[in-house]
Amino acid sequence: MVERDLRDAQARLLEAGLLAGDAWRPTIVCDVSWLARETPEHRFVYLKDARLDSVVGVFSFQSSRPRRSSAAVEVPHAKLRRAYRGFGLASWVYGCALDSGVCLVSSARQSPAAGRLWQALTRRYAHGYVWVERRSMRYLGTELSEAQKAQLAVRMMLHGPRYPLEALFEAPRQGLRRQG
């Protein structure tokens, strides 16, 4: 499935004339280049092995701005060719998003590898847990029991320096409420 999705992404980029060109930038992680594209509701980061001229990863960030909130909240999804895993590419892409001021919220269910990535990112970025229901989020704190974390509506939130966690949840009028 990942390989097919990456081939489809490469075909779309080729058709749009974007597979080659100056828009690709080197990553600091390894010999892979990146290209960002945006639609009104999604942001995409494509990774390409320039030597092979082949798309090796696609990261999609679905915008999920809570009602009345100024915070840019995105739910990321990653597809990375197996041979390119373990080099820190996902950590680098997510880190760039967080450093730019975006808050990332995990999906409802994560693979074990995604869970390890998010746990690793908590060593560099502030984090907490939120209850997501429709387009509202409620802050749950930084420490939850395993039973609480297992609930479908509970997600991890990571954020960079632009949005301190306290500022995100201190004002109920913004649509983000602190529990308790």
Whole-angstrom CA distances from 103 to 7, 48, 88, 116 are 29, 25, 20, 18
The number of beta carbons lying within 10 Å of the beta carbon of residue 64 is 15
Domains and CATH numbers, the chain: 2-178 (3.40.630)
Q: What are the structure tokens assigned to 51, written together?
A: 């030597």
Model confidence, pTM = 0.86
Over residues 125-156, the pLDDT tens digits come to 999 999 988 778 888 988 999 999 999 999 99
What is the pLDDT, as a whole number, of residue 177?
A: 43
Over residues 97-122, the pLDDT tens digits come to 999 888 999 988 888 999 999 999 99
Q: Is the pLDDT of residue 176 over 50?
A: no
Query: Rg of the chain's alpha carbons, rounded to an integer?
Result: 17
As beta bridge partners, residue 127 has 158
Distance between CA atoms of 127 and 1, rounded to whole angstroms? 31
What is the pLDDT, as a whole number, of residue 83?
A: 94
Residue 129 burial by Cβ neighbours in a 10 Å radius (0-12, 13-18, 19+):
buried
Residue 111 burial by Cβ neighbours in a 10 Å radius (0-12, 13-18, 19+):
exposed
Over residues 39-91, the pLDDT tens digits come to 888 999 999 998 898 999 999 999 876 555 556 789 999 999 999 999 999 99
